[in-house]
Structure 1
Amino acid sequence: MTPLAERLRPHSLKDLVGQEHLTGDGSILRKSIDTGNIPSMILWGPPGVGKTTIATIIAHSVNRPFLSLSAISAGVKDIRDAIATATAARGAILFIDEIHRFNKGQQDALLGAVEKGIITLIGATTENPSFEVNSALLSRCQVYVLKALEEKDLIKLLHLAMEADETIRDKNVQLKETEALITISGGDARKLLNLFEIICDALEVPAIITNDAVMRIAQKKIALYDKTGEQHYDIISAFIKSIRGSDPNAAVYWLARMIEGGEDIKFIARRMVISASEDIGMANANALLLANATFEAVNKIGYPEARIILSQCAIYLASSPKSNSAYMAIDSALATVSKTGDLPVPLHIRNAPTKLMKSLDYGKDYKYSHSFENNFSEQEYLPEKIAGAAFYEPGNNARENELRNYLKKLWKDKYNY
């Protein structure tokens, strides 16, 4: 059966819930629709606030051919095919959902058709188009900002479903409490209505909606994921801890949960860059290089192919030897700085660009390490007050055991861990 959110999708502006600043009487967008003069545009707002609905209403109102692509699955060939269809149809509207997921090449493929007026582009995005849509394409589009739906709007949608949808009416719904429905949906109207349908289907007639019933059924029936709420932090925590715990299977599972939940792939990549230093660090310095390359690649490639790159990096990080020695070293050094303040730099390692500085013994007795055997000369580099302090302690892994032995050979007792 068609999902409830789709069954209730409005076909005219008067039936749209929310976004009165764009679609109300006298608003900019309404004037464009009334005159039939529709510019290419980007609809920017949170999930489930009416971006797709507004696009379909526009096409229906001006009676023009309507083509639709999802940036999650469409490639350059799909874009070219859509443009070819639009060229034959004349005056078509091309709607691209999640346009921010298109990479630069995919976005560039749209430019010529938009410039020549072959298509009227309507792009929908949950991300700031200033950062996610290339400037050439953005300059040819109007940007309309959609607001998050308020609680009153969401409750209005629930009552609309109870009144207008035959399937819901047959359940004789009694809406006693709405807090859990509103919280889980996170202001996403589509998520709210589909969740409402799941709850109603699971309850006996009459379907009495309470917070307890919603939470009980939701935990069993749906994978809860809220990109801005508690689940967002719980699942990224599970992901990072799986990497730290050297479990690639768990890491890939939590990665899949985030991808399926619509998490920002750049957020995931950033967290892996952090983990590469915090949890792997000196045990495998290449982990940071791969994680950083992953972040760069995800920015260039976009979804859906980026999921493969994220998976490769997650598996590599989870399967790498672990060390938090770099993390512990900087925190130990910061604690010492906080406690001891701005200690003076030893004279022999100060810079001496002027005669006055040299006369004050800046740089005096400094030993240029490359002039000595093994490119090493034993001298103190820390301030006198904390001379001999240890911040970096090599971890117990193959790479850092090599470093430990190397430092002991150079420094003898000073680095005798």
Structure 2
Amino acid sequence: MTSSGRAAPYVPLAERLRPRRLDEVVGQSHLLGPGQPLRLAFESGRPHSCILWGPPGVGKTTIARLMAQAFEAEFIALSAVLGGVKEIRDAVQRAEAARSGLQPRATLVFVDEVHRFNKAQQDAFLPHVESGLFTFVGATTENPSFEVNAALLSRATVYVLRPLEDGDLQTLIERALASGDDMPALDAAARRRLVAYADGDARRLLNTLEMLAVAARAQRRTQVDEDWLLATLGERLRRFDKGGEQFYDTISALHKSVRGSDPDAALYWLVRMLDGGVDPRYVARRLIRMASEDIGLADPRALRLALDAAEVYERLGSPEGELALAQAVLYLAVAPKSNAAYTAYQAARTLVAREGTRAVPLHLRNAPTALMKELGYARGYRYAHDEPDGFAAGERYFPDGMDEVRLYEPVPRGLELRIAERLAELRRRNAQARAQHQGRASDHQAG
């Protein structure tokens, strides 16, 4: 209650626990740790315009506020979802007033979801960033390479923020429980479940924790275990237990369905994962892996399509971008399968580990200096483009003294059928050329 007897305005737990000092920020040590870029920027005392790119709930707004505080600047926050040119003009007027007042102050203009502004709205900031009227800080969950104008992007440093680690989220739970807000105690299993549900998002974690506290107080419960947590939040915790058995079982089912050429089952498991709250970017990365591991050169278009699907998702986000992932899953499932590239790569790793570091043969080395030419570098190298059919038949490319090894064996499916035919012809020509060379060498010795 306030002194007037009225109820104090409600402030969410996430806002109450927002860091007031840089040392209170949890996570982002790659930017805020000692000697790291943003830490150095804070310590320099000289603000600069920047774009903070990262998923929700990782501290973008907090860092912007702390910047303004560190540089003793007027803080003006705009939302690109709700604002427009009028709000930009108002911010410019406030910045001019701050600079020309009796006690001149710098201004930091923070634009949340800056990718929502169109080109004209983003361009409206340019002259004022150029003139130094204010420091511009934009926050975005989308790739700024696609969503922020090149002109504005060239005037701002991009900092990539990462999802919070599990240990960071556990730290936030401890802070919330110690905040004096009548929070219930949580057992270890309940904490793990909350951390998994938050999936790197501090705001989601604290909002869920606050909801739990309200429910616990209503039931006069002082201790929360995982069973009660699941019963209370129900549908909300249908999300994946990131790093847990369910998560890995389901991605395994998706991968095996694609490998087994069952598009219907693959699409089912994809939707199960997306419906469960998995980060679609993770799915995109796994699809790229499947394209290389299980399809490879049987259909090289599969890898390109998987990469395109990942890029489409980065541009569109959810839910529109998820359709591109579904398209990629269907294509990968029906594509001809080959693990020949994957098998060859693993065999090459084993070979290198066994053979150690062998010297590069002299004829395969570059010879940019006269001394290197005198030492025999590049001597005897046959430039394939000058040979018949662009192939130096009989040439050796493995280290001297090492037997040639066949690592890549195409499968009789898809494009690898033709690759196998081509390889067989090249190997036949190699064998023929080497046999002729050995014959000439024998004749020379006999003569």
Within a 5 Å distance, the mapping from 1:233-272 to structure 2 comes to 239-252=254-267, 255-256=270-271, 257-258=273-274, 261=277, 263=279, 265=281, 267-272=282-287
Within a 5 Å distance, the mapping from 1:183-262 to structure 2 comes to 183-186=192-195, 188-194=202-208, 197=211, 205=219, 207=221, 209-214=223-228, 216-217=230-231, 221=235, 222-225=237-240, 239-252=254-267, 255-256=270-271, 257-258=273-274, 261=277
Give the TM-score normalised by the residue count of structure 1. Answer: 0.60
Inter-partner Cα distance in structure 2 for 1:389 and 1:379: 14
User: 2:415 matched to which residue of 1?
Assistant: 399
Inter-partner Cα distance in structure 1 for 2:285 and 2:401: 38
Q: Where in structure 1 are there 5+ consecutive unaligned residues?
A: 1-7, 25-39, 56-64, 71-77, 163-174
Deviation at 1:332, TM superposition (A): 1.3
User: 2:403 matched to which residue of 1?
Assistant: 387
Of residues 149, 154, 157, the one that matches 2:176 is 154
Within a 5 Å distance, the mapping from 1:225-374 to structure 2 comes to 225=240, 239-252=254-267, 255-256=270-271, 257-258=273-274, 261=277, 263=279, 265=281, 267-300=282-315, 305-346=320-361, 357=373, 363-364=379-380, 366=382, 368=384, 371-372=387-388
Deviation at 1:391, TM superposition (A): 0.7
What letter matches 1:110 in structure 2? Answer: Q
Q: Where in structure 2 are there 5+ consecutive unaligned residues?
A: 1-7, 25-48, 65-75, 95-108, 432-447
User: 2:36 matched to which residue of 1?
Assistant: none
1:152-207 alpha-carbon deviations (Å, 9 max, x no partner): 332257x7377xxxxxxxxxxxx453434433333735445446747986999565
User: 1:110 matched to which residue of 2?
Assistant: 122
Q: Count residues in correspondence.
A: 360
CA contact (8 A) 2:297 2:341 kept: yes
- Range that drifts further, 387-396 or 363-372: 363-372
CA contact (8 A) 1:278 1:327 kept: yes
Secondary structure of the structure 2 residue equivalent to 1:150: helix
What letter matches 1:332 in structure 2? Answer: A
**RMSD after superposition:** 5.8
Secondary structure of the structure 2 residue equivalent to 1:318: helix
Deviation at 1:281, TM superposition (A): 0.8
CA contact (8 A) 1:199 1:218 kept: no
User: 2:33 matched to which residue of 1?
Assistant: none
Secondary structure of the structure 2 residue equivalent to 1:407: helix
Distance 1:84 1:385, change over 3 A: same
Deviation at 1:284, TM superposition (A): 0.7
1:307-360 alpha-carbon deviations (Å, 9 max, x no partner): 333333333223322222112212212222222233344566555676984895
Inter-partner Cα distance in structure 2 for 1:328 and 1:351: 31
Deviation at 1:19, TM superposition (A): 1.5
Secondary structure of the structure 1 residue equivalent to 2:407: coil
Distance 1:224 1:387, change over 3 A: same
What letter matches 1:390 in structure 2? Answer: R
What letter matches 2:405 in structure 1? Answer: A
Inter-partner Cα distance in structure 1 for 2:394 and 2:50: 66
Secondary structure of the structure 2 residue equivalent to 1:333: helix
CA contact (8 A) 1:69 1:96 kept: yes
Deviation at 1:18, TM superposition (A): 3.9
CA contact (8 A) 1:182 1:192 kept: no
Distance 1:364 1:177, change over 3 A: closer
Distance 1:239 1:350, change over 3 A: same
Deviation at 1:239, TM superposition (A): 4.7
Inter-partner Cα distance in structure 2 for 1:301 and 1:412: 50
CA contact (8 A) 1:247 1:318 kept: yes
Secondary structure of the structure 1 residue equivalent to 2:358: coil
User: 2:191 matched to which residue of 1?
Assistant: 182
- Range that drifts further, 228-237 or 239-248: 228-237
Deviation at 1:16, TM superposition (A): 1.5
Inter-partner Cα distance in structure 2 for 1:52 and 1:404: 56
Inter-partner Cα distance in structure 1 for 2:353 and 2:156: 52
Distance 1:23 1:413, change over 3 A: closer
Secondary structure of the structure 2 residue equivalent to 1:20: coil
Inter-partner Cα distance in structure 2 for 1:402 and 1:274: 24
Inter-partner Cα distance in structure 1 for 2:372 and 2:21: 68
Secondary structure of the structure 2 residue equivalent to 1:386: coil
